[in-house]
């Protein structure tokens, strides 16, 4: 094994081979996050179920019962839980990855490893949350006897888009937070507003019909909007009409890749400025 | 590169000091507004054009004063931070230990932390698994291996952390002296393990202030001064050069740069001399010292003062202290004045010492200056036999007489 470090080499490579060599570190950091999350709580892992269930109950009461939002043939809880499954993963991974580098500064200053392991690892931890919401989703669909659409084969595509968009935001935030601590405050803000700006609790049409066209375009460019609609298309068989989503997926891909390179560029000085 | 383990060429690391660049977005925008990108900014080269080679199996000690760039060199070689100039190559598996227990999480059990820390240090899961029993046995915390480490005593915590590190099997080991913290027993174990590693033919790069540890562990030395490599040579040469520098650098120079304290009253002058020989900064073993301090005062109020002068040897061990509070001298400072301290003969062994001063006024630390001036203790046939002890052989010289007290019968 040979290590070469050269300051005059300005090129940035993602060095995926090295990342793969550190796969054990991904897994153990994900394990640590998972273990520590509910450590010393009385209910322990039950919390992981309670949180999405509580949100879903509130949504059903407020939007389903009180506001009587029209979700067509789909029972409201089924409609909402599908949107929530995409959003829960997105918001968790984005905010966890976003604050991950600041959170790991003790390690960063003392030892080398590819720093990308830290935010990327959060995408693994988020899978557990995703599995939990998904099991709730299955339970609710069985309860309402709502059949799964044959479009389900498209779900992996939207799921990948979900992971990518969460990491795209998360990696950018994690790097920017090192320089500008302002982003520590922007992250929770994004999560809070995103929940309402994304068609999770209501169908997108309901809003889009009432706003000018340019606003609708902006609304649809929210990548999670496209992902949520994609989830409903795949699981519930609702029509997928939001073609702007495809543009936003393209933009996301660009943000994701630039995020990776910006991160690699900053990696060199991370220990100095974190 | 067959027998070379580490090759460093023109390595440099620049830091920007002063105001941190755009800590908030607001500042970033303001700086765009003002069309200037750097405000209050100056460069600092922590490392400058450092080049050297280390052969396979060599144990090299890096020596230098605080702030000379030792830690920066270690961080660059450990890939924690990227160099600004130059390049380096290393042949073989590298492990760097700048602290023990990196990544330890208090909520996790000892077992889980072994896997976590081991992975962070670069071991694979299967490697940790195969060494797991050995690591646990070495740490001596078998009974608590499934207890969260937050319930560990600090000693247990450090032992567990160190045993993980001790079971790394790198070809090149980069190690910081901060490892040698903890109790004396742990230090011994730590140094012993490093010695073992060095003797196994691995390449070791070791940073330390502890001259003794460097001498024991290392065959070669690097002396770093103000970010530059001043010498690479046999470890004994390096150590004597380092100690000589200590002499020249501190000799006769009064240096108030490292001062802290409130500053209402301050020491602005210091003179230490041998009362008999009237030499400043040089005294003979067994002579009386006289210390004179010039004191300046901001406001003309009475300060009930306490003054302490400490003498430290070249490795920072306190050898003597003259404390007005302990000696029971009450000192009221009301105006600019000079203080005098008269001591009994001092019997410190010849060598170079540095002086720290602390001045308290009305219970508040007003002035504290470390390494303000140096003191050279000389030997002028102290034992009156023409014989004497070598440097650093013993700390105190006392005249003595040996005789036969009583002849034991038969």
Summary mean pLDDT of chain A: 90
* Token representation of residue A209: 């019909």
- Packed helices B154-166 and B110-120: angle between N→C axes, nearest 10 degrees: 40
pLDDT tens digit sequence for A163-181: 999 999 999 999 999 888 8
Please provide the distance, in angstroms rounded to a whole number, between the alpha carbons at the two ends of chain A.
Answer: 29
Residue of B nearest to A104 (CA): B103
| pLDDT at B9 (0 to 100) | 93
pLDDT tens digit sequence for A89-108: 999 999 999 999 999 988 99
Report, as an integer, the average pLDDT of A58-77.
90
* pLDDT for residue A60 is more than 90: yes
| CB of B388 closer than 8 Å to CB of B382 | yes
Is this prediction's ipTM beyond 0.90?
no
Cβ <8 Å between B108 and A25: no
Cβ <8 Å between A32 and B87: no
Report, as an integer, the average pLDDT of A103-119.
92
User: What 3-state class would DSSP assign to B386?
Assistant: coil
| A180 touches B at CB < 8 Å | yes
Residue from the list A3, A113, A181 with its beta carbon closest to the beta carbon of B94? A3
**Predicted TM-score of the model (pTM):** 0.72
- Packed helices B154-166 and B184-199: angle between N→C axes, nearest 10 degrees: 0
**In three state form, how does the secondary structure of chain A look?**
CEEEEECCCCCCCCCHHHHHHCHHHHHHHHHHHHHHHCCCCCCCCHHHHHHHHHHHHHHHHHHHHHCCCCCCCCCHHHHHHHHHHHHHHHHHHHHHHHCHHHHCHHHHCCCCCCCCHHHHHHHHHHHHHHHHHHHHHHHHHHHCCCCCCHHHHHHHHHHHHHHHHHHHHHHHHHHHHHHCCCHHHHHHHHHHHHHHHCCCCCCHHHHHCCCCHHHHHHHHHCHHHHHHHHHHHHHHCCCCCCCHHHHHHHHHHHHHHHHHHHHHHHHCCHHHHC
pLDDT tens digit sequence for B6-53: 999 999 998 887 555 555 666 666 655 555 554 456 788 899 999 999
| CB of A12 closer than 8 Å to CB of A265 | yes
| CB of B51 closer than 8 Å to CB of B87 | no
Which residues does chain B have with pLDDT short of 50? Answer: 1, 38-39, 247-251
| CB of A45 closer than 8 Å to CB of A38 | yes
Query: How many CA within 13 A on the CB side of residue B255?
Result: 16
Query: How many CA within 13 A on the CB side of residue A118?
Result: 30
B contact test, residue of A36, A110, A113 with most B CBs within 10 A: A110
Q: Which chain A residues touch B149 with a CB distance below 8 Å?
A: none
A contact test, residue of B120, B122, B175, B203 with most A CBs within 10 A: B120
Report, as an integer, the average pLDDT of A206-215.
87
| pLDDT at B358 (0 to 100) | 92
| CA nearest to B62, candidates B102, B100, B96 | B96
CA distance A101 to chain B (A): 13
Backbone angles phi, psi at B101, to 5 degrees: 80, 25
pLDDT tens digit sequence for B158-211: 889 888 988 888 889 898 866 555 566 666 777 777 778 777 888 989 887 667
């Amino acid at each position: 094994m040979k290590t070469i470090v050269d300051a005059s080499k300005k090129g940035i490579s993602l060095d995926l081979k090295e990342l793969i060599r550190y796969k054990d570190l991904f897994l153990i950091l994900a394990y640590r996050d998972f273990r520590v999350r509910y450590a010393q709580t009385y209910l322990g892992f039950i919390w992981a179920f309670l949180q999405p269930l509580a949100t879903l109950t509130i949504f059903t009461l407020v939007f389903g019962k009180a506001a009587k939002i029209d979700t067509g043939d789909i029972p409201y809880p089924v409609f909402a839980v599908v949107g929530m499954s995409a959003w829960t993963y997105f918001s968790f991974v984005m905010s966890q990855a976003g604050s991950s580098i600041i959170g790991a500064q003790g390690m960063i200053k003392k030892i080398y490893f590819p720093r990308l392991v830290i935010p990327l690892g959060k995408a693994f931890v988020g899978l557990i949350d995703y599995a939990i919401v998904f099991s709730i989703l299955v339970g609710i669909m069985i309860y309402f006897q709502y059949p799964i659409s044959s479009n389900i084969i498209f779900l992996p595509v939207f799921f990948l888009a979900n992971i990518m968009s969460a990491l795209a935001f998360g990696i950018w935030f994690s790097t920017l937070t090192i320089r500008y601590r302002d982003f520590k405050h922007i992250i929770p803000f994004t999560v809070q507003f995103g929940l309402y700006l994304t068609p999770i609790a209501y169908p997108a049409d309901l809003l889009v019909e009432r706003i000018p066209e340019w606003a609708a375009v902006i609304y649809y460019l929210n990548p999670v909007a496209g992902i949520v609609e994609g989830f409903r298309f795949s699981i519930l068989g609702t029509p997928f009409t939001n073609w702007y989503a495809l543009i936003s997926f393209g933009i996301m891909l660009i943000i994701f890749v630039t995020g990776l390179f910006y991160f690699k560029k900053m990696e060199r000085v991370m220990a100095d400025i974190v | 590169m067959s027998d070379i383990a580490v090759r460093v060429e023109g390595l440099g690391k620049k830091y920007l000091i002063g105001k941190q660049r755009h800590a908030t977005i607001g500042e970033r925008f303001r700086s765009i507004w003002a069309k200037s990108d750097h405000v209050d900014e100056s460069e600092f080269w922590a490392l400058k054009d450092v080049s050297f080679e280390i052969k396979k199996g060599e144990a090299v000690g890096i020596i230098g004063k605080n702030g000379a760039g030792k830690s920066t060199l270690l961080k660059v070689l450990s890939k924690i931070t990227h160099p600004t100039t130059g390049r380096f190559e290393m042949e073989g598996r590298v492990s760097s230990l700048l602290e023990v227990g990196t990544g330890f999480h208090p909520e996790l059990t000892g077992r889980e932390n072994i896997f976590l820390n081991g992975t962070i240090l670069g071991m694979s899961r299967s490697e940790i698994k195969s060494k797991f029993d050995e690591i646990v046995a070495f740490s001596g915390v078998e009974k608590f291996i499934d207890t969260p480490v937050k319930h560990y005593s600090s000693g247990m915590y450090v032992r567990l952390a160190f045993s993980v590190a001790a079971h790394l099997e790198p070809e090149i080991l980069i190690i910081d002296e901060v490892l040698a913290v903890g109790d004396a027993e742990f230090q011994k174990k730590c140094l012993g393990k490093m010695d073992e590693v060095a003797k196994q033919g691995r390449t070791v790069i070791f940073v330390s202030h502890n001259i003794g540890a460097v001498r024991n562990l290392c065959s070669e030395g690097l002396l770093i001064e103000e970010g530059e490599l001043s010498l690479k040579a046999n470890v004994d040469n390096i150590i004597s050069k380092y100690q000589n520098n200590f002499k020249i650098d501190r000799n006769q120079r009064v240096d108030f740069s490292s001062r802290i304290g409130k500053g209402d009253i301050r020491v602005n002058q210091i003179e230490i001399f041998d009362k008999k020989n009237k030499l400043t900064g040089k005294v003979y073993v067994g002579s009386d010292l006289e210390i004179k301090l010039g004191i300046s005062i901001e406001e003309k109020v009475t300060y009930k003062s306490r003054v302490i002068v400490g003498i430290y040897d070249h490795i920072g061990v306190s050898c003597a202290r003259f404390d007005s509070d302990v000696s029971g001298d009450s000192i009221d400072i009301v105006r600019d004045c000079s203080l005098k301290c008269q001591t009994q003969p001092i019997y410190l062994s010849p060598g170079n010492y540095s002086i720290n001063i602390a001045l308290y006024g009305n219970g508040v630390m007003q002035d504290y200056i470390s390494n303000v001036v140096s003191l050279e203790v000389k030997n002028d046939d102290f034992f009156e036999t023409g014989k004497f002890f070598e440097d650093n052989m013993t700390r105190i010289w006392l005249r003595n007489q040996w005789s036969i007290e009583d002849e034991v019968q038969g």
